């Protein structure tokens, strides 16, 4: 997990690079090749871990809480507003507020990211479970299904598009917010960018390559989730966004 921290200096060495690197040209493929294994790849792997853990825990929590809250009446609106209000907490501020509690650590970052994931996913799970049309529920009950069977065989399958929709936003946002983890330490794809921005003349290739990796990671995850929704809920494939 903390491969970067153990991986030695990742600061580009302006003194010994090619003409492209020392001249800070627009994009130096030789720098990317030279620093893929010591800077970019570990940062990418770490970013995937950061996101995976956060979304995994966040999804489990949101799903369990969503099921628990499913039968409570009249909570949809307050939950939506509260979640939206909590989501306004700026990531940089949240990271810093957690520092007295858990320090400049991986835990601090994961707590914040799990929090954002939960706030995105929980309203989606609740709303999704309520998306089943009343007549469908009536029919299911009329056929003799128990409450539990209705939940697992009717409401949950119908909630899949909303839940996957929430997951898409959660994953992409977590990848984006994960770059801010660099303000706390050597974490993720934000760190090479953060380092470059701290230099008097920011090294372009480092910013562009790490940035492109973050964007491509987000788009790839988004596309995968769209595919997943097509598989799980082919009837809901009308709209992409």
Partner 1 sequence: MILAGAFSDALRFIADNPGLLAQKALEQIELSAAALGIGLAVALPLGIVLGHLHRGSSLAIGSSIVGRALPSLVLIGVFLTVLGIGFVNNMVALAVLATGPILTNSFDGVDRVDRDAVEAARGTGMTGAQILRRVELPLALPLLFTGLRVAAVTVVATAPIAAIAGGGGLGDVIVNQASYRLSGVIGASICVMILSAGVFVLLLGVQAAVTPRGVRLSRVRSPRRKELR
Q: What does the binding site for partner 1 look like in residue numbers (CB under 8 A)?
A: 84-85, 87-94, 96-97, 99-101, 127-128, 131, 161-162, 165, 169, 172-173, 175-180, 182-183, 190, 193-194, 196-198, 202, 204, 207-208, 210-211, 214-215, 218-219, 222, 236, 239-241
Q: Which is nearer to partner 1, 66 or 178 (CB)?
A: 178
The two three-digit tokens of residue 195, written as one number:
């380092």
For residues 171 and 51, the answer to whether their CB atoms sit within 8 Å is yes
Do the beta carbons of residue 108 and residue 99 sit within 8 Å? yes
Task: State how far the Cα of 176 lies from the Cα of 90, in Å rounded to an integer.
Answer: 13
CB of 144 to partner 1, least distance (A): 26
Q: Which is nearer to partner 1, 6 or 23 (CB)?
A: 23
Distance of closest approach, residue 166 Cβ to partner 1, in angstroms: 10
Nearer to partner 1, 88 or 144 (CB): 88
Q: Closest approach of Cβ 201 to partner 1, in Å?
A: 9
Q: Are 233 and 161 in contact (CB under 8 A)?
A: yes
Shortest distance in whole angstroms from residue 168 CB to partner 1:
9
Residue 112 Cβ, how far from partner 1 at the closest point, in Å? Answer: 12
Q: Which is nearer to partner 1, 84 or 232 (CB)?
A: 84
CB nearer to partner 1: pick between 154 and 210: 210
Phi/psi at 144 (5° precision): 95, 15
Answer yes or no: are the C-beta atoms of 108 and 115 closer than 8 Å.
no
Matching residue, tokens 């609740």:
126
CB of 113 to partner 1, least distance (A): 13
Q: Which residue's CB is nearer to partner 1, number 118 or number 180?
A: 180
Burial of 228 (0-12, 13-18, 19+ CB in 10 A): middle
Are 83 and 66 contacting, i.e. CB atoms less than 8 angstroms apart? no
């Amino acid at each position: 997990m903390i491969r970067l921290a153990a991986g030695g200096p990742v600061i580009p060495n302006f003194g010994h690079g090619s003409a492209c690197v020392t001249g800070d040209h627009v994009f130096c493929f030789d720098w990317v090749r030279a620093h893929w294994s010591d800077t970019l790849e570990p940062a990418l792997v770490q970013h995937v871990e950061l996101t995976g853990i956060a979304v995994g825990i966040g999804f489990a929590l949101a799903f369990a809480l969503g099921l628990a809250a499913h039968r409570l009446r009249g909570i949809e609106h307050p939950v939506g507003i509260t979640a939206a209000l909590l989501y306004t907490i700026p990531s940089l501020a949240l990271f810093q507020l957690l520092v007295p509690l858990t320090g400049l650590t991986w835990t601090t970052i994961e707590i914040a990211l799990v929090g954002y994931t939960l706030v995105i996913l929980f309203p989606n799970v609740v709303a999704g479970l309520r998306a089943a049309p009343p007549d469908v529920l009536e029919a299911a009950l009329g056929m003799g299904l128990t409450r539990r069977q209705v939940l697992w065989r009717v409401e949950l399958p119908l909630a899949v598009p909303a839940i996957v929709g929430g997951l898409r936003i959660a994953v992409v946002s977590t990848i984006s917010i994960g770059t801010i983890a660099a303000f706390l330490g050597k974490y993720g794809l934000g760190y090479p960018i953060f380092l470059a921005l701290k230099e008097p003349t920011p090294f372009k290739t480092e910013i562009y390559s790490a940035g492109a990796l973050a964007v491509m990671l987000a788009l790839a995850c988004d596309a995968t989730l769209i595919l997943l929704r097509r598989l799980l809920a082919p009837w809901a494939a009308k709209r992409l966004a």
